[in-house]
Chains A and B, each alone.
Chain A
Amino acid sequence: MPHDHHDHDHLSPSGHPYRQDNDEPLTYWQLMEISVRELMIEKGKFSAPEINQQIDLMDSRSPADGATVVARAWMDPDFKKRLLENGASAAEELDFEIGPMHLVVVENTPKIHNLIVCTLCSCYPRNLLGLPPDWYKTKEYRSRAVKEPRTVLTEFGVSLPESTVVRVHDSTADMRYLVLPLRPESTAEMSEVELRKLVSRDSMIGTGVIQEI
């Protein structure tokens, strides 16, 4: 039996160990966040429902939004031109709210591969991709992406020929970055809706490429 452990006292009926309750004491910064939030509500700066609305809005964003922008750029050369010139205003044409964020879209070509990182913190195009993956925020990714991007890419399963130029973009200040991945040649007959489904989160960070189908 795959789940035939000796110590059955600590196993759930599924045969897996019980997960520990997520009830650790609050850290200093968690306590700080709660205190500031409650103080702001008390002072009438904003209300609790407004905070929940904002969290819901944040949670509603996902890589599917970025994929919609990418698929449109693949289908419509004029849109692509506008997107590369001014990412935010082009994304707003598709009703994606970019807010105060400045978006720089960088295009992958057969000769150029772009990779996005934020070495100083974890800047990420949240308005188009949602919350960043945990690894994007790790010191390991942040320090190695700028120093040995080819090795990092290999670990993500992306092997590039030496002749492909790697361009790393360190999001150090007010810009946010999105990679416009290379469209696979075998997708020439696909519709825009079908194309959206092919565009992965990692391909828009640059840690992935879209395979031929």
Chain B
Amino acid sequence: MMISDGTVIKIKDTSPPGHIRTPKYIRGKIGVVERCVGVFENPEQLAYALNANSYSLYRVRFKMTDLWSDYLKDSDDTLDAEVFEHWIEEI
């Protein structure tokens, strides 16, 4: 799976147990792929010294107003976070 820059995506809204590097506050939120930053080993497996799969890592940009209901109204402020491909749903 290769997602091109500018694609609108959704972060999966799940809470599996263990070491996760997808912060809670972006799960289930809609964002835009800013860029792919490369392929990296999955930290969810690395954390337990398991053989890790390699996944593409994307910088995803969210509108602050989509993340926080009480954010400054009509603001164009954004938040970028790095998200592994297995957390991303194409919509």
Contact = CB atoms under 8 A, between A and B. Distances in A.
A169 B21 contact: no
B76 A175 contact: no
**At the interface, is chain A mostly helix, strand, loop or mixed?**
mixed
Closest 5 CB pairs of A and B: A173-B82, A166-B77, A170-B81, A172-B82, A168-B79
Nearest to A170: B81
A132 interface: no
Interface stretch (A11-19, A56-64, A142-150): A142-150
A149 B72 CA distance: 11
A174 B38 CA distance: 9
Contacts of A120: 21, 23
Interface string A150-183: 1000000000001001111111111100000000
B57 A173 contact: yes
B22 A172 contact: yes
A120 B78 CA distance: 18
Contact of B79 (A102, A146, A173, A174): A146
Interface of A: 102, 104, 119-120, 146-147, 149-150, 162, 165-175
Contacts of A102: 37-38
Given A119-B23, A147-B68, A150-B72, A174 B40 contact: yes
Contacts of B57: 173-175
Contact of A174 (B68, B77, B80, B82): B82
Given A150-B77, A166-B77, A170-B81, 10 more contacts: A102-B38, A119-B23, A146-B25, A165-B76, A172-B82, A173-B82, A174-B37, A175-B37, A175-B57, A175-B59
B88 interface: no
B84 A173 contact: yes
22 contacts: A102-B37, A104-B37, A119-B23, A119-B25, A146-B25, A146-B79, A147-B68, A162-B75, A168-B64, A170-B79, A170-B81, A171-B82, A172-B23, A172-B81, A172-B82, A173-B21, A173-B43, A173-B82, A174-B37, A174-B40, A174-B57, A175-B59
B46 to A, nearest CB: 11
B77 A167 contact: yes
**Chain B interface extent, by class:** 20 to 34
Interface string B12-32: 000000000111010000000
Contacts of B38: 102, 174
Given A102-B38, A175-B37, A169 B80 contact: yes
B33 interface: no
A177 to B, nearest CB: 9
A34 B64 CA distance: 43
Interface in B24-64: 25, 37-38, 40, 43, 57, 59, 64
B16 to A, nearest CB: 15
